[in-house]
Structure 1
């Protein structure tokens, strides 16, 4: 498995990930007869062709980026496309029947589930990994080390005032805070809104983006900036960002898995269209590969793998859809 943490740090994800492969004509022409014989005698079940479309959370994207690229090598006859329009944007496409799976950094909402029922789409929720939503500042920020949940709410809630660092601690600079946050279609936005803002409005001055790399770059460049996003994006950029402990607890694999990093620890999901899994061998095969490799890929990109029994349960639920 390639070094996915390095790959994340050095590569900016585009608006959609399209990874698929077909063996080159030149390679096929120069292959030995032995290789051709081996391929001919491979079981038909191992050969899958087709295309599979997904969309959704940019937080889940690092896991899917790695899985899709490695799956392309395992099944070159299948092209998998994965958009990153945010959890909410992904569910919109899922409800329209445009995608076979939808990645999410929060559980599906009641209204989304109702829309799927109205559209006649049955689905299955699969757990992929744990994340610790990370609050970060520039490494040039030498005053913030720890914030409480109450501090976060005071900073991020829109109350008609201009927020300054000195509002939190009078010993901190009398400088305006610069905010960066995931876009409103993001499950990360929804989660932060629920557990920190308690459904109040986010500061209007915040720069919002569905692309977490845009947030990373903005925070890196400004000592007065603060932002939040998935743990893997902090891990991939920890040489240029500083993570803020919350109530004295730093996000780590151990604190995220144990739940000690509360209330910002959360599960990550993908939701799959049952009919597409049952009827499309390519969709089924890709989802099976995803569940078999999600734990290793989560560890590789900086998230936290689930206990193996959770992946086994997902595989059993998938098997039941055959």
Structure 2
């Protein structure tokens, strides 16, 4: 994954990750939201600059929830999201007369990861993950041998995304059956690199985040398969794209503000470029492309959205 590291480093040198106030002048495009979707959008933005170097694309990483907060107020043009927008977020957007479109851009699997020195866990069942992460586990499920008596009598040290993260929402919905349902006594961060460092330095650590971040750091971490009822399956390009890595595979999205495409034609150019170039760039940054038919569907959706909002 050297290319991912290079792209991210270059992107940070040319893109601002500040407060991303919507650029009302010139051709600026402002984006914020999911840390999971960030590498995809950053790679696209870097390639887009070769097509149109005069466009300044700024990308923030405040988590899916944080991105939707800004998006619903009209502060940014595009929101990166690792889940669909919630009803309460839609309501805020409606109050602010924000019309938008949701576009699928990739698939991702959630990686359940442990330290390489952990030699006792080979697979987790969904029931075991629920037992570890459910709200009732806080203060009570604290040791590995409480999950399996054959595992060590040692503390479990948990690492995971913060509550503003779409990854947190997806994991809790998939494992607990209710979005946001989780114990609170774990090391939380919106920055997946913090979680990588935490588990990589902790023999008794356990965490989860997007598969791409594991791929980038596989020399520091160990991935664990998940048994969703069909046997133990690890997330790969194949198992994520064909849906066998269940229930921890998901689509990733961008959301586009209609007023942005009305006021700034460069936003239209950027989104069209995104949907055209994503298939060739995604594997380089550790994500799974949609099928050609699915990209055509999203391109047609966006074309219709543009036509409706330019009348």
- For normalisation by structure 2, the TM-score amounts to 0.88
Greater mean alpha carbon deviation, residues 194-203 or residues 166-175? 194-203
Q: How far apart, in 2, do the equivalents of 1:61 and 1:190 lie? A: 17
Q: Where in structure 2 are the equivalents of 1:44-123 lying within 5 Å? A: 50-123=27-100
Q: Where in structure 2 are the equivalents of 1:122-271 lying within 5 Å? A: 122-159=99-136, 160-199=139-178, 201-247=181-227, 248-271=232-255
Residues 38 and 61 in structure 2, CA contact (< 8 A), matched pair in contact too = yes
Question: Partner of 2:6 in structure 1?
Answer: 7
Question: Partner of 1:299 in structure 2?
Answer: 283
1:39-79 residue CA offsets vs partner (Å, 9 max, x unmatched): xxxxxxxxxx6100010100101101111111112211000
- For normalisation by structure 1, the TM-score amounts to 0.85
Q: How far apart, in 2, do the equivalents of 1:240 and 1:300 lie? A: 19
Residues 11 and 43 in structure 2, CA contact (< 8 A), matched pair in contact too = no
1:304 partner SS: coil
For structure 2, list consecutive stretches of 5 or more residues without a partner in the other structure.
18-25
2:127 partner SS: helix
Question: Partner of 2:297 in structure 1?
Answer: 313
Aligned residues: 290
Q: How far apart, in 2, do the equivalents of 1:51 and 1:13 lie? A: 15
Q: How far apart, in 2, do the equivalents of 1:11 and 1:237 lie? A: 15
1:177-227 residue CA offsets vs partner (Å, 9 max, x unmatched): 001010110000011111112337422320110000000000100010011
Residues 13 and 213 in structure 1, CA contact (< 8 A), matched pair in contact too = no
1:115-168 residue CA offsets vs partner (Å, 9 max, x unmatched): 212211110111100011110011111111100000001111232314111011
1:65-110 residue CA offsets vs partner (Å, 9 max, x unmatched): 1111111122110000011100000000001101111011011111
Question: Partner of 2:16 in structure 1?
Answer: 18
- Give how far 1:12 is off: 11
Q: How far apart, in 2, do the equivalents of 1:237 and 1:3 lie? A: 10
Q: How far apart, in 1, do the equivalents of 2:187 and 2:72 lie? A: 28
1:243 partner SS: strand
Q: Where in structure 2 are the equivalents of 1:269-280 lying within 5 Å? A: 269-280=253-264
Residues 165 and 190 in structure 2, CA contact (< 8 A), matched pair in contact too = yes
Q: Supply the RMSD in Å over aligned alpha carbons.
A: 2.1
Q: How far apart, in 1, do the equivalents of 2:186 and 2:278 lie? A: 33
Greater mean alpha carbon deviation, residues 78-87 or residues 282-291? 282-291
Greater mean alpha carbon deviation, residues 111-120 or residues 260-269? 111-120
Residues 132 and 141 in structure 2, CA contact (< 8 A), matched pair in contact too = no
1:257-299 residue CA offsets vs partner (Å, 9 max, x unmatched): 1110000010000000012113311111111111111222221
